[in-house]
Copies of this chain bind each other. A is one copy, B any other.
């Protein structure tokens, strides 16, 4: 059930029986020579919609922009500053909380968002804690589709060391499954990209990772692999959501 496709009366009815919601969050950033700029948003969105459809969980619109400052030396990247992303997530959570949502499950597609998301949750809680306002029940969590147990196992089996940490083979595969019309066949050179830390500014990042990949060989990806990651992730996420929301 997608929030964008519901009327407010349908949301009201949903809230009468369930107060959890899934919010896909990604990024708009380069993903190397054969990866899509939208990879990090497309992947969690695709998984979230399927979980929503199979299990009747409401799915909010995707947050397409994330914290991607280190990718800004590559054309097409759009980044929010951490302070901006904190404000966006704060307003999102306060809006949902006003309606009675108690469990907000952010399904994340970008490792670079994780720290800022955690800071954003703390910012929301700190407003309550500093003012001793009791506040209503509010549970917040970040779930990374790429870190679920079934997904990790599959990536290890398919790619081992060539999976990498940015523009990974697994995320390229899933994005191709979701957008078969956008598959690109590109040869990688070197086959496996250099490894290293992304904690730096954009110019330094591009010096370290000249074609944008980090430690990966995404030419191993395929639509068929993507389908398997899709199924693995839908199961991972549904399991995590059930535990988080306390739903049967």
> Using a CB–CB distance below 8 Å, which chain A residues touch chain B?
2-12, 15, 28, 30-38, 41-42, 60-65, 67, 69-70, 72-84, 86-88, 90-92, 94-96, 98-100, 112, 114-116, 118-123, 125-132, 134-135, 138-141, 179, 181-182, 184, 186, 199-203, 212
Contacts and interface: CB of A to CB of B under 8 A. Distances in A.
Contacts of A37: 3-8, 11
B38 A61 contact: yes
Most B CB contacts (10 A, CB to CB) among A41, A70, A82, A135 go to A82
Given A3-B37, A6-B76, 7 more contacts: A4-B38, A61-B65, A65-B91, A79-B129, A82-B123, A98-B132, A112-B122
Given A2-B38, A94-B131, A62 B64 contact: yes
What is the count of identical protomers in the complex? 6
B76 A8 contact: yes
Contacts of A140: 199
Given A83-B87, A119-B116, A202 B129 contact: yes
Nearest to A82: B119
Given A70-B129, A72-B130, A99-B76, A199 B6 contact: no
A182 B87 CA distance: 31
A157 to B, nearest CB: 27
B78 A95 contact: yes
A40 to B, nearest CB: 10
A76 B3 contact: yes
Nearest to A179: B5
Contact of A33 (B7, B114, B134): B7
A129 to B, nearest CB: 4
A184 B7 contact: yes
A240 to B, nearest CB: 13
A30 B7 CA distance: 6
Q: Which 4 pairs from chain A and chain B are nearest by CB?
A: A4-B38, A115-B118, A11-B76, A61-B64
B33 A9 contact: yes
A181 B6 contact: no
A103 B232 CA distance: 41
A17 to B, nearest CB: 13
A115 B37 CA distance: 25
A8 B84 CA distance: 24
23 contacts: A3-B38, A4-B28, A6-B182, A7-B35, A8-B32, A8-B37, A8-B74, A8-B75, A11-B75, A12-B75, A28-B60, A38-B61, A60-B78, A61-B64, A63-B64, A64-B64, A65-B92, A70-B125, A83-B83, A84-B91, A94-B130, A116-B122, A121-B199
